[in-house]
Amino acid sequence: MVFTRFIAALASLAVLWTLGSCAASTSTVPSRNEPLETAQTEADTEAEAEAEVVVTSVEPVTVVDGLEHPWGMAWLPNGDLLVTERPGRLRRVSDGQLTPTPIAGVPELFTAGQGGLLDVALHPDFETNSLVYFAYSAGTQQANRTQVARARLEGDTLSDWDVIFTVNQDKSDGQHFGSRLLWLPDGTLLVAIGDGGNPPLQIAGDLARNQAQNPQNHLGTIVRIGDDGTAPDDNPLLSRDDADPLVWSYGHRNIQGLAIDPETDQLWSTEHGARGGDELNLLEPGENYGWPIVTFSEEYSGGPITSEASRPDMVDPITYWTPAIAPSGLAIYRGEIYPQWQGQIFAGGLVSQDVKRIEVDDSGSVVNETPIPIGQRVRDVRQGPDGFLYVLTDDANGRLVRLEPTS
């Protein structure tokens, strides 16, 4: 009996020593002269502190208001934020305050309907060249196109406005400009272009939306350009005689969310359906995403657009929304403010007036979706350099909102 108790005591000491060693390995290894109980207590305290950094909910906190239909945003190296307003103004937010006077140098644009000054992005080498890129609509009600221009920002003035890309097909009316901008790690720029508009709008005697299946046309595509607007020599459709050299993917309706995961380099988009059928897509170069041949959307007037929801030669969405959320703005979170949300997708909704927090597993399937209510139409969602998620609301009195942890 004494021997059995002795063995049990030795075993207990061994377990205590193992636990102490494992706990210490996550922080500071104790010295041989340090009491095991002290090392264990310190490790427990550190573990408890780490456990406290768990965010289960966030609160939308207004940073600034008074923005007129803001559309896109980009942070400057000094921490200031550039915000586009759809009526044609570029604004600066500095130290949490909206600078009263817009930045000078934006030319006259086509600002009817959904058109105007849309997305904004800094050149990857902005600190040396001061170049800012803009996507916007240009032309008239009868003939307009999405364009991309770059300009040099010096203080509160833009100079050397230079149009580097113009969609190769005129359209009428004020719908579906797309216009999200996204820099890739290789220094090329993706530009999302809408399909031209809804029925009965026509181009060349056919419904405008059918142009999305014509890769010779930029409508309904993502184009990939160099920083000067030229076609990179490794664009995916260069070998096809029936495709424009700038086209990177096609079969899109109206992408207004475009983001890259900085850790995996996966590219994601959200695009508007018609009546329902909004999509979240994982993007690959050269692929056809189906619109309007395959879709979960219905006509605004009622009834199916097509009898097909999938084809083997076209890419299915990762998920879709019916009824519509009208997605706009997209971010893949990689920061420290909400540590348990690493790699999750945050998609804004204009109609739903919220941000969808989307968890995707390793197979690419959505395993959870949680709404974060905002209370206004959400136009853009971005991760700031401080690790917070920021939201722009599309309203005559639009807001810049920061999502702050509450628990």
Pairing of strands 389-393, 378-383: antiparallel
| Catalytic one of 123, 176, 218, 252 | 176
Question: How buried is 165 (Cβ within 10 angstroms: 0-12 exposed, 13-18 middle, 19+ buried)?
Answer: buried
CA 102 to chain centre: 25
Question: How buried is 318 (Cβ within 10 angstroms: 0-12 exposed, 13-18 middle, 19+ buried)?
Answer: middle
Q: How many CA atoms lie within 13 A of 98 on its CB side?
A: 22
Spatial contact of 391 and 401, defined as CB atoms under 8 Å apart: yes
Question: How far is residue 376's CA from residue 286's CA, in Å, rounded to a whole number?
Answer: 36
The answer to whether residue 176 is catalytic is: yes
Q: How far is CA 4 from CA 13, 16, 18, in A?
A: 14, 19, 21
Question: How far is residue 291's CA from residue 221's CA, in Å, rounded to a whole number?
Answer: 10
Question: How far is residue 359's CA from residue 336's CA, in Å, rounded to a whole number?
Answer: 17
Which residues are tagged catalytic?
176
